[in-house]
Amino acid sequence: MHRYFIMIFLIAHTISYSQDSVLQAELAYALIPASNQRVSAQQVEAALKVPLDFGTVQLQPTIGLRNYDFEFWESMTFNTHPIDNVNNFFAGVDATHSLDEQWQLDAWGEASWASGINANETVLTGAAALQYTLKTFPAHLRLGIQYDTPLGDRELLPLVELAVSTHQFYLQLGFPESRISYALSESSTLSTHFDFEGDYFYVPQTVDFAAQTANQVGIARQKLALDYAYTIDSMWSFSLSAGYLFQNELKFYDSAQHTVNTLNMGAGPVFSTGIKFNFSKQ
């Protein structure tokens, strides 16, 4: 049933933001067709966000769901049922503190559950970074550290961003994402980006391999994409994206977080589209 729901909306995340909004609703959809490995995937992400402004401090609590639907078109050497369809619920908060005109402190944290609300199977991730903005040139440097899953495992990684912006042009170099954006008009933007993206979750049932079992799964992707975003008005915006996955893997871990197996789902195209709605105060 959810597949028909996806096809009706066909939507993914956008870049617009309304200062007057008290609630933001986002819905995201991505399709990864089957490659030579005969595995296809669909991904849906829905989220509700509440922007809060306390002067020099901005907070944004978020709750949402990431759904993964994998289609295995050939028989595998392990039982695929535990990962055929995964619902990963998450809750988190983003925080920004302006120290002065040039320095800014950013932090975020998230907890997620894919096998029920269980303290022993809660995945915690987060990051903290310090950003410095130049006075004489429209650029900023952000350096920090993240405990996150862009490589398909929970690990401590650097967070690096060097960005230059003008009225129409935006260039960002760093990890886990690099991006170039160009404003076609006041309401539309064309951009290209390369990023490392992933997720990590416990599965409700163990995945059985020949001599081992896995109860944790990581997703690791490297993507180059071209995006188009359009702001309809202060409340609605949408985006379309087409790209290519250079890496597309499922990683399986045992209870001690040792790698049990890695399934290469194959390089290939990825398509996504999406919408965002701002509930206004007025």
Residues 6 or more apart whose CB falls under 8 angstroms from that of 236 comprise 275, 276, 277, 278
**Please, what are the domains in the chain?**
2-280 (2.40.160.40)
Residue range 195-226, pLDDT digits in tens: 999 999 999 899 999 889 999 999 999 999 99
19-61 tens-digit pLDDT: 445 899 999 999 999 887 789 999 999 999 999 999 999 999 9
Q: Please, what sign has the CA dihedral across residues 212, 86, 70, 195?
A: negative
Identify the pLDDT of residue 15. Answer: 34
Q: Going by DSSP bridges, is the β-strand pair 188-208/123-133 parallel, antiparallel, or unpaired?
A: unpaired
Q: What is the mean pLDDT of residues 119-135?
A: 96
Task: Give the residue-averaged pLDDT of 148-167.
Answer: 96
Taking the C-alpha atoms of residue 275 and residue 268, their distance in angstroms, rounded to an integer, is: 24
Alpha carbon 91 to chain centroid, angstroms: 13
Q: Establish how many alpha carbons lie within 13 A of residue 177's alpha carbon, considering only the half-sphere containing its beta carbon.
A: 12
Phi, psi (5° rounding) for residue 255? -65, -20
Strands 169-175 and 123-133 come out as unpaired
H or E segment and range at residue 127:
strand 123-133
The pTM for the full model equals 0.88
Question: Which pLDDT band holds residue 5 (cuts at 50, 70, 90)?
Answer: very low
pLDDT confidence tier of residue 12, bands split at 50, 70 and 90? very low
Q: What percent of the chain lies above the pLDDT cut of 90?
A: 81
Average pLDDT, the chain: 91
Q: What is the pLDDT of residue 141?
A: 98
What is residue 76's predicted lDDT score, i.e. its pLDDT? 87
Residue 260's identity, in one-letter code, is V
Beta 52-53 vs 39-49: how paired, if at all?
Answer: unpaired
Question: Is residue 247 helix, strand or coil?
Answer: strand
